Amino acid sequence: MLYSTFGNKCSRCNEGDVFKCKNPYNLKRMFEMHTHCSHCGLKYEKETSFFYGAMYVSYAISSGWFMIWYALQNYLLNWDLLIFAFFVSGFILAVSPLTLRWSRIIWLNFFYKYKKEFSKKNKSTNFNTSQYAS
């Protein structure tokens, strides 16, 4: 799961890319995703608005960032509260393209767990995707 999340890889086979553009900060193309995994044929958006659920994950990631900074603020930084608020908002905004990617791929991972039989070794196999769609 970590590998696919940070490597922009299909959650089922860890081989095919999920997002078309490798750089999450290419803002024009940050929402462009492949419809299917190029390796195992997994359909990423299994139903319309499937990725709306990823918003919950992205919310969790943002809260996670906030908690990390809040802990740092309390124990190390002790900045002025206003400066801290600006900094954290800026930080969360700055990492939001990453958060978007991670949340969608983590969301994929909830539904399609990594399966060995889909990874490299079986590249020659012809997959029947409907059979494995949950």
Query: Phi/psi at 52 (nearest 5 deg)?
Result: -60, -35
The nearer residue to Zn ion, 33 or 88, going by C-beta atoms, is 33
Closest separation in Å from C-beta 77 to Zn ion: 42
Question: DSSP of 104-123, one letter per residue?
Answer: HHHHHHHHS---GGGSGGGT
The nearer residue to Zn ion, 96 or 122, going by C-beta atoms, is 122
Closest separation in Å from C-beta 12 to Zn ion: 5
Closest separation in Å from C-beta 47 to Zn ion: 18
Structure tokens belonging to residue 25: 């900060």
Positions in 10-69 near Zn ion (CB under 5 A): 10, 12-13, 16, 37, 39-40, 42
Structure tokens belonging to residue 111: 């539904």
Q: Which one-letter amino acid corresponds to residue 116?
A: K
Positions in 70-99 near Zn ion (CB under 5 A): none
Closest separation in Å from C-beta 118 to Zn ion: 6
9 binding Zn ion? (CB under 5 A): no
101 binding Zn ion? (CB under 5 A): no
Q: How far apart are CA 11 and CA 90, in angstroms?
A: 30
- Render the burial of 25-63: b for 16+ CB within 10 Å, e for the rest: eeeeebeebbeebebbbbebeeeeeebeebeebbeebbe
Chain positions contacting Zn ion, by CB under 5 A: 10, 12-13, 16, 37, 39-40, 42
